[in-house]
Structure 1
Amino acid sequence: MNTKSLPNLPDTDEPTAVVIDVTPELARVWLRSNTHNRKLRERAVADYARDMAAGHWNLNGEAIKFSTDGQILDGQHRLSAVIESDATVQMLVVVGLPPEAQETMDTGRKRTTGDVMGLRGETNAHTLASILRRVWAWNNGDHRFTGNYSATNRECAQLLADHPELRRSTEIAVRTRHAFPHIPQSCLGVAHHLFSAIAADEAAWFFQRIADGAELPIGHPVLALRARVTSERLESVRMPESRYMAYLIRTWNAVRDGRSLDRLVHPPNSSMPMPK
């Protein structure tokens, strides 16, 4: 087999690049030549497919690559995503490469959401990125941040465009963490975003009190929160982010209800509380 037998590809044995509108039907035909590649990662396909279905997939110079003998060297995940999304996507395609070129493909470091935010000139870019990924997960039902599905860079960028107030949540998270370094910035930022949507003024007061613990009476929920996370940090207890989120939400709900808390508890197998 060679690329001459594959539809829509240049009839040449020399390295050649061309831009092609890749339809689901064309992707299916090309993938029949995918006989020598790494194992398909379904999560990567799902991530790409969401971007394609949303119209967020741009021509970016990364190519679908074919060898001189017609084998796909690079691009099986993108082609599979075209099929899954049922979208037609414009892609750069390179043909006529030696088969051994596959060994040097995809050896660079992937550009992270933090890198993308930094390139856009965002303040606290990597913290903002971590908050965006977790807010996206929360909005999609992953309240424990398991990472079974994670946002793509384009989904994070769209989330920020839809909710520019997340920049403020990031600023508050960094400031709070600096004053009280026992809760991850990512959890603080997600919690600030969620709580501010419920009661912005109360959220501002709440995070200031987490930071300084000032003028709070004995039994106040924020004091219980500060004591709990400080104790676990000093005991070197390794806590998942989901427990920090549960602590923050339980504390917020108690404050909203006007309840006292002498001790903050969240059993490991308990369901995630929802802020109110």
Structure 2
Amino acid sequence: MARAGSTARKANVAALEPQNGRIVQVQGQSPDSPFFSVELVTPANATEWLQRKRPTAAENPNAIATYAEAMREERWILNGMPIILSRGGVLLDGVQRLRACVKAGVPFLTVLAQNIPDDVLHTIDQQRRRSFAGVLEARGILHAHALQSALVKLIRYDDGKMQRGAGTAAWSRMDRLLRANPDLEQAVKISLESEATALSEAVRTPLLFMGFRVNEAATRRFLDAVAYPEKYSPMEPGARIRDLIDITRGDPTTRLKPINLFALCVKALNATISGEHHRTYTWIDKAANPIKGEEFPILEGYAGLNDPGHADDTEETTRSLQAAVQRLVAEEGVYPLVIESITPAIAEAYLMHNTRNRKIVAAHVDAIARDIRAGNWMMNAQPICFSRSGRLLNGQHRLSAVIQAGEAIEVPVMRSLPEEAYDTYDIHAKRGPQLGVAFDSFGDKPLIAAAAVLLWKRELKPTGIRNAKPTPAEVMRIVEQHPRLLEMRTFGRKMIEFGRGSVLAYAAYCIERDNPELGQVFLDRFETGADLPRGHLILELRKRMQSLRRERASQDEQLRELLSAWARFKEKPDLERLNEDV
């Protein structure tokens, strides 16, 4: 196997002594033992490794763009999350990071895990989906969600993408801009204390920030006029906006969308600042009406967010990363990563260092604990991480699950990471459903996984827990034990106009399992609707399911409608009478 550059040598570890007293070699004595090393991945090496990815490994353009920006900005941090290669040299995890390396054209430092069993694929990345607001909350920043929301809108405004469904900016960019615009936090605080509540907070906060940058007095006047229109002339811009809000508020068909209200407020704030008064303020979204529509209005005098930009010196980046590898070997002496047996007592001790972390999600802990108790836990190369100060950076849910399960697990543990690594775990992309290598040849894996989740929730979910989801191991077990559910994905896919594919696949499985002969008649007639008299319950079911589909009804609503119709259908056991009117 090719290595990642001359300076990216293995961190030559003989052994480390974990806190539980067990000595574990990073490269085990057995040929099947996992092996961990620090690597400097260059674009050339990344291209080579990508040739080894699984044929079904999908790319995530948003994640790649986020990672590439962080790499170009020299904000990519060695955080312990490894590139994972199987015993056969297959790339199990790391496609997005390697693609980003190629896209950015700069190297990055990472942990490489080799000799990992192929069958751990479905267990990789069982972390909760997080938000940038969660990072801000962990830093102790107040009003984190409002701050994130305002920052996203201000970035979209600067990028000229207010009218399109632009996604959230890369976290590295958001973090950079937040640091460069400290007055945004104060603007959020003032906005939340404002009495101009007729304006939604989502509009009020970014408008206040922008207005304070241009003319604070005029902005305060505008917001005061929105809050107390009776104090001002009827033609006062803020009062006109308040009238417009009040007139449209009662009817959902006329209620102003946030983007429209934001645009009107920008126009009205411009008028407040200039002293002009207009009878009406209108704006037509160009995306909705290309002929009569307008571009999003500009707040006169607002220069946008301060953005210090980033350095783009690839050669300097490479030298600094090479120096980082050398420091790890020379200063640390050994590579600070070992495989430990984490007992409940050790988990409790490690959680004592869990300071300023995100909230623990009980349902996630429950899920991991179930895997541990059922013997489904698999050591998958994703480590529990500690900073140089000893603070727990990543792994609180797994440690909590060990305590709850009352059983030990084996897991890599990495220490001596920089404190800044904490934020980087949140920008790692969340992968789609993983059903293991054995199912790589099947299409519609998201549909299969979603149908398996439905089965688990309705038939296997432990009593007494709410908002629980099955673990990847449990989903795989369902698919393996219910092969007919896998086959029903075809029915779910071709009937997609009547509901979600996962609901239709699972409902068809339940109906056929309940009564194979009669169930097949029901499903065939539901599929075609042929030769049924007016008013037949299957024709009514088809109409109702199409209506629920248009209304974007929940999975539960769609499933309840289908199974209820099936229950009524079963009440006519005589097949010769199935064509009768209902």
CA distance in 1, matches of 2:417, 2:396: 16
Quick check: 1:127–1:185 contact (8 Å CA) kept in 2? yes
Q: Where does the alignment leave 5 or more consecutive residues of structure 1 unmatched?
A: 263-276
Map Cα deviations across residues 82-131 of structure 1 (whole Å, 9 max, x no partner): 11111210100111212222222242122232575897332221111111
Matched, 1:174 2:511: no
Matched residue type, 2:397: H
| Structure 2 equivalent of residue 239 of structure 1 | 553
Map Cα deviations across residues 19-66 of structure 1 (whole Å, 9 max, x no partner): 111111111111111123222121221121111111111111100111
SS in 2 for 1:45: helix
| Structure 2 equivalent of residue 158 of structure 1 | 477
Quick check: 2:364–2:468 contact (8 Å CA) kept in 1? no
SS in 2 for 1:205: helix
Q: Counterparts in 2 of 1:106-121, with a 5 A limit?
A: 106-113=426-433, 120-121=440-441
Quick check: 2:337–2:415 contact (8 Å CA) kept in 1? yes
**CA shift in 2, pair 1:176/1:101, >3 Å:** closer
Map Cα deviations across residues 133-192 of structure 1 (whole Å, 9 max, x no partner): 1111111369xxxx8111121110011111111111212211233xxx122212111111
Matched residue type, 1:16: P
Matched residue type, 2:507: A
CA distance in 1, matches of 2:20, 2:357: 21
Quick check: 2:435–2:472 contact (8 Å CA) kept in 1? no
CA distance in 2, matches of 1:117, 1:136: 22
Matched, 1:69 2:385: no
CA distance in 2, matches of 1:202, 1:224: 19
Quick check: 2:435–2:445 contact (8 Å CA) kept in 1? yes
| Structure 1 equivalent of residue 303 of structure 2 | none
Q: Counterparts in 2 of 1:98-109, with a 5 A limit?
A: 98-109=418-429
| Structure 1 equivalent of residue 278 of structure 2 | none
Q: TM-score, normalised by structure 2?
A: 0.40
| Structure 2 equivalent of residue 199 of structure 1 | 515
Quick check: 1:114–1:127 contact (8 Å CA) kept in 2? no
Matched residue type, 2:514: I
Quick check: 1:36–1:71 contact (8 Å CA) kept in 2? no
Instruction: Identify the match of residue 401 of structure 2 among 81, 106, 109.
Output: 81
Matched, 1:138 2:458: yes
Instruction: Identify the match of residue 221 of structure 1 among 523, 531, 537.
Output: 537
Quick check: 1:18–1:94 contact (8 Å CA) kept in 2? yes
Aligned length: 251
CA distance in 1, matches of 2:395, 2:445: 29
CA distance in 2, matches of 1:29, 1:241: 42
Matched, 1:256 2:576: no
Instruction: Identify the match of residue 49 of structure 1 among 364, 369, 373.
Output: 369
Q: Where does the alignment leave 5 or more consecutive residues of structure 2 unmatched?
A: 1-16, 24-330, 573-577
**CA shift in 2, pair 1:20/1:175, >3 Å:** same
Q: TM-score, normalised by structure 1?
A: 0.81
CA distance in 2, matches of 1:9, 1:72: 20
**CA shift in 2, pair 1:216/1:94, >3 Å:** same
**CA shift in 2, pair 1:100/1:237, >3 Å:** closer
Please provide the CA RMSD for this pair: 2.9
Matched, 1:37 2:357: yes
| Structure 1 equivalent of residue 59 of structure 2 | none
Using the TM superposition, give the Cα deviation of residue 230 of structure 1 relative to its aligned residue in structure 2, in angstroms.
3.3
CA distance in 2, matches of 1:114, 1:209: 34
SS in 2 for 1:110: coil
SS in 1 for 2:499: coil
CA distance in 1, matches of 2:351, 2:563: 47
**CA shift in 2, pair 1:217/1:42, >3 Å:** same
CA distance in 1, matches of 2:547, 2:447: 25
Quick check: 1:118–1:126 contact (8 Å CA) kept in 2? no
Quick check: 1:20–1:93 contact (8 Å CA) kept in 2? yes
